[in-house]
Structure 1
């Protein structure tokens, strides 16, 4: 064998070594998982599982890099990145899904006059009787977020009486924050004067001070409203209700944006201010607060009626056919 052939063989071996995956192997991953399954200590078991997850993620990154190197060596384009399979991407088809072909009748619902810009929203915000400090602060922050809104201290007044008074004073919506164990626990939104009324479970409430932002950063400009990933007729109705709480003409000068994002029937609320980079190519977000999560429990026709109300949609705490599949979502 000549010296040139030996050099070519050595270079080929070096290229093969570069192609070989570096870092942890699949055997290492299975070894850690087997050790975690046999470990009686819960703390050590959690540590091993967390270590195995990080190792698996690193293996996937190394595999993508290896494939990219192979494609470069062959002069080909890198393979497309695989779309991860999630519960959201694998959701079951719903017959009430709204498409451009069947969305025309949505314009004739209870919120059609708002989207026709025939009135300016006027919102009344109240709470349960004798609310705790955190609930009172949450009410004040919601008043800052929603333009043209007023906080009403309920005391011992009944919801039905408050709704009747709100109608007399030309309020278009009423928001009621209830609490449990000194924490905001549910939200009732009733569209006036003829409904509908939505009841949500409220969780993960974080005030502005918990997000480490100064409340003075929240200006009085009317925010933009973004509601996303509402696909069914029920979801579109809920999204239109959220939009009808805010003025239909945002003041872009304030650079405020309010987001209602639906994911697996959980509605995440965020309040941001966007700031453009110097070159104007990108925008950075600064969260202003508050932050909370909603879960729809019922939709009632008309305004709030606890005993004789007619429900359009309701879900109970029991596990029944509406919650039998993890991939079945209603919004």
Structure 2
């Protein structure tokens, strides 16, 4: 695959530097083109990044909770339509963290006439000449609708920055302007949520590998994804700075550890449902947020400082 293949493949002659305690970084022994995923990475995947659970949520328990939460979303959508409200949920996060999976479970059983996902491709020449936020504005909901962004304007603070698709001056301007832009949305009575999904490095490698070798998922792997394999720490630094500048009282971030995608999907749904009032709301069916894997942006930053 040429250059993209080399970027997604750790080379023996240039291993990553050892991390704390002298342990080699995971990418040093990882070859995405090898159909066999390394046993040592597989063993560490679920617990990577400090994940608190030893096992994934069982399918039966997951499906039972999912059905209850989807029913609540049907109620919520009916309320939004009846009251002429507008709901926006921004899903951001690391590659392979499961943003699309969360969105698809929310949309699965609600009315598609009044709900949609927005996943924009790279900007056109005309869009590159516009105000940065401009191309997203046309996708905001009208009264009675909800919109879920599968990545959003935060591309500028993440992939664009890490991959060098924008300047540091543009990043600084974005980090200054994003809270003001979002405050305008909230002041116009849009119900606004920002959810960031994080995932441990070994788990991310496992998911990249699965996508590479599963014919039904290969379409998900891009040259950018392959290049990102060796840039986990770069994304970590960009992630932390983004949260520091854009977690505000008006538009706060909720961060979910998504090593277990089943738990992450349920948590994302609970985050929205718990914070909104609507007719027929069943708090017992929704359940409570799991503080082990779901925290505010501020608390997540505090945890990062503790680990440093």
TM-score, length-normalised on structure 2? Answer: 0.27
Q: Does 1 or 2 have the higher relative contact order (CA < 8 Å, sep 6+)?
A: 2
Which structure: greater strand fraction? Answer: 1
Which structure: greater helix fraction? Answer: 2
